[in-house]
Structure 1
Amino acid sequence: MACVEHPVGCKDYKDISTWALETSSGVITNEIETAHPGRRNAFRHFIWRAEMEVEMGSEVSEYFADAHEAWNSIAETTDHLADLANNETAIGIAHEVMAHLPPKTIGTDLRVDTIPAMLRRTESAQQVVALAKAQIEADDYMTTYDFPSSLNRPDLARIP
């Protein structure tokens, strides 16, 4: 449904999601994740949600983030709560990054300024990653372990 209402945003959502998955795996190694379970997921949400906010704007990025979180099973309540908290932190990261970027130029055709937009994304992505790393290094993130496991409801898990 999200792609029907925001077809241009759908490609951006996919591109940013793929970038966030690949980047988080490169930054938060398996060794780090083993020592600090949940860091990779927190970092991924920081950079994913922040970069969507920067590149897609508040309204569209919130729409896609809400659609993404709507698919969480109630069986995974603690993961959902951690994701929501980390997404809020990510919005702060995005606004800090946006304060230092040149304004976006949008003509009647949203794809007219493709090259400047790509260069801008590279600059914003680098800043997003740097700020997200600082959050992680400061242990300022949420994981499923920050909530009581009694919130999870495996008895209500979706049937595959």
Structure 2
Amino acid sequence: MKNNTLLKIGTSAAVLGLLTNQACKEKEDKVTPIDLIIGDWKIIDIDGKNAIEEADDHFYFLSMEFMTGGSVEWCYNYQYPLNPNDNNEECYQNVTWEWLSVEDSILMLISEGDTSTVTVDFPTSDLMSWEGIEGDRVLHDNSYKLERID
């Protein structure tokens, strides 16, 4: 009887340990919007329209790098397929970002006193989209789709 009781206690402790270990592992593996937003993104769609502008000899696109600490670098990237040595980019660092609500994926972008508040969605870890909630002083458009480029 004593051995049977010890066996039950030992089995219960082992099961509890496995469940706790699995719960901790799932918690560690969970990726948050904070983790996903950091990196380089290319804007591929603005208000349902292709955001990559093409000209006769080149094309350009906007990219954003979200950095830890709340900075954003905006860049205009010019690509010349026939003359790759002419490729260049113009970058600006006058934008910051902060999460207003990580749970609701609400992000605020701030530039020179102007703000835009957006809801952010990550259909995959390589795609991000957002819809404007209020303010349009930073973004000037309501809907963006971005693709990870790093």
Give TM-score scaled by structure 1 length. Answer: 0.29
Q: Which has the higher contact order (CA 8 A, sep 6+)?
A: 1
Greater percentage in helix: 1
Give TM-score scaled by structure 2 length. Answer: 0.31
Tell me which structure has the larger Cα radius of gyration: 2
